[in-house]
Structure 1
Amino acid sequence: MRSEGRWGIDLTMPQSLLLALHLRDAAGLQPPTSPLLPDLPPLDPVSIPLHTAGADVAGLETAGRQWATWWARSFPGGADALTSILPPRYPGLNGMPELRGLAELGMDDAVTWCARAREVEKRIITRTATALFETNLLTDVEHELGRRIRPFFLQVIVLPVAGSHHWDVVGQPVISLGLRADRDAYLVWLREQLIGIGHARFGVTDRTERP
């Protein structure tokens, strides 16, 4: 997290969402989309395939719907969401026998994959440090708006999915790790977020103001 006293930006990859996404891809689930669940691309790095030989299609379809239900309850992640999907009790999967069965088969692989994804994230953060760029960008946006942006905290969910993408998930900004890795593309996206924050904190009547 970057914090400059009157503002902060926190880019986080919640472990619960990573485990769930690995389960989705490893088992080949196709959960229905919703306002809380955009059509997220496959993981990058790719998942470790789950051996579901013999699993009937109907069972996987049911598991996909159960997965979407879990996601809607658990997004944007956090300690409770992580506990809900962890063994041995998988409390968040109560009443979801098809999904729990897949989780029991694939959780060890998911944990292994998460460690790999964290290493990729660490390399990207080291290679594309953004703190100074964010500070300068905020100054530029405030100059464009003709006023200082009031104190704010921006939490951004980062997901290691393929490609360079961003989503607004019911007001929660979500970006792909690929977008985070592209400093220029990330700063273009962040600029739009800061402009939106600056307008929102001054109200509708100020949205047309320019220096």
Structure 2
Amino acid sequence: MRDVGRWGIDLTMPQSLLLALHLRDAAGLTPPTSPILPDLPPLDPPARSLRAAGADVAGLEVAARQWAAWWVEHFPGGPDALTSILPPRYPGLTGRPELRGLAELGMDDAVTWCARAREVERRVVARAPSALFETNLVTAVERELGWRIRPFSLRVVVLPVAGLHHWDVVGQAVISLGLRADRDAYLLWLREQLLAIGRTRITRSEEQHG
């Protein structure tokens, strides 16, 4: 969390979403997209296939729809979302036997993979733009707008999927870890977010006083 008093940027990589994405890729699921579920690229690092592990994977179309329903219910992640997908009870998979069966087959691999993904995230954060870069960017955007941006908190979900991508998921900012790792691409994306925040807040202020 970058917090400099009047604004904050919170970049988070929810464990529940990591486990879910690993399940998607390991099982080879192709879930239907929706406003809450964009067409997310494969994981990076990639997940090991359940087929490669010798698992008997069946009912994939049904499981893919169940997976999409779970995502819509639990995005953007959090304690309840994580609890819902964990053994031994898998409470969020109740009534979704095809998906639960895949989760039971792949959970050990998923947990191991998540540890690897966290290590990649740690290295990215170590060399990513610091709070000073973001502070300077806020100042530059305020100069461009001609007014000071009102206090704000920007929460960003980071997903370790391949490529440099960003999405607006019903008002929730989502970026790939690759975008976070690319200083220029990240700051360019962040600049657009700050411009939008600054313009939206001044417009609302004008409406309230109009």
Given the two structures, how large is their TM-score scaled by the length of structure 1? 0.94
- For 2:8, what is the secondary structure of its paired residue? strand
2:84 touches 2:90 (CA, 8 Å); kept in 1? yes
The Cα shift of 1:49 comes to: 1.6
Match of 1:12 in 2: 12
Q: Which segment is superposed worse, 42-51 or 98-107?
A: 42-51
Match of 1:92 in 2: 92
Match of 2:57 in 1: 55
The Cα shift of 1:182 comes to: 0.2
Question: Letter of the aligned partner of 1:49 in structure 2?
Answer: S
C-alpha distance in structure 2 between counterparts of 1:148 and 1:126, whole Å: 30
Question: Letter of the aligned partner of 1:148 in structure 2?
Answer: R
The Cα shift of 1:129 comes to: 3.4
Question: Letter of the aligned partner of 1:88 in structure 2?
Answer: P
Match of 2:109 in 1: 109
C-alpha distance in structure 2 between counterparts of 1:46 and 1:55, whole Å: 18
C-alpha distance in structure 1 between counterparts of 2:86 and 2:114, whole Å: 13
The Cα shift of 1:130 comes to: 2.6
2:26 touches 2:48 (CA, 8 Å); kept in 1? yes
Question: Letter of the aligned partner of 2:57 in structure 1?
Answer: A
- For 1:95, what is the secondary structure of its paired residue? coil
Question: Letter of the aligned partner of 2:161 in structure 1?
Answer: V
Match of 1:38 in 2: 38
1:48 touches 1:110 (CA, 8 Å); kept in 2? no
The Cα shift of 1:53 comes to: 4.6
Match of 1:157 in 2: 157
Match of 2:137 in 1: 137
C-alpha distance in structure 1 between counterparts of 2:144 and 2:56, whole Å: 60
C-alpha distance in structure 2 between counterparts of 1:145 and 1:68, whole Å: 40
- For 1:203, what is the secondary structure of its paired residue? helix
1:167 touches 1:174 (CA, 8 Å); kept in 2? yes
**Percent identity, aligned pairs only?**
76
The Cα shift of 1:128 comes to: 2.0
2:27 touches 2:57 (CA, 8 Å); kept in 1? no
Given the two structures, how large is their TM-score scaled by the length of structure 2? 0.94
The Cα shift of 1:54 comes to: 3.8
Number of matched pairs: 205
In structure 1, list runs of 5 or more residues that go unmatched.
207-211
Q: 1:190/1:25 Cα in 2 relative to 1: closer, same or farther (>3 Å)?
A: same
* Correspondence 1:71 to 2:71: yes
C-alpha distance in structure 1 between counterparts of 2:203 and 2:129, whole Å: 33
2:165 touches 2:175 (CA, 8 Å); kept in 1? yes
2:22 touches 2:47 (CA, 8 Å); kept in 1? yes
C-alpha distance in structure 2 between counterparts of 1:54 and 1:103, whole Å: 13
- For 1:61, what is the secondary structure of its paired residue? helix
2:25 touches 2:42 (CA, 8 Å); kept in 1? yes
Match of 1:118 in 2: 118
The Cα shift of 1:127 comes to: 1.6
2:50 touches 2:57 (CA, 8 Å); kept in 1? no
Q: How does 1:18-29 map to 2 (within 5 A)?
A: 18-29=18-29
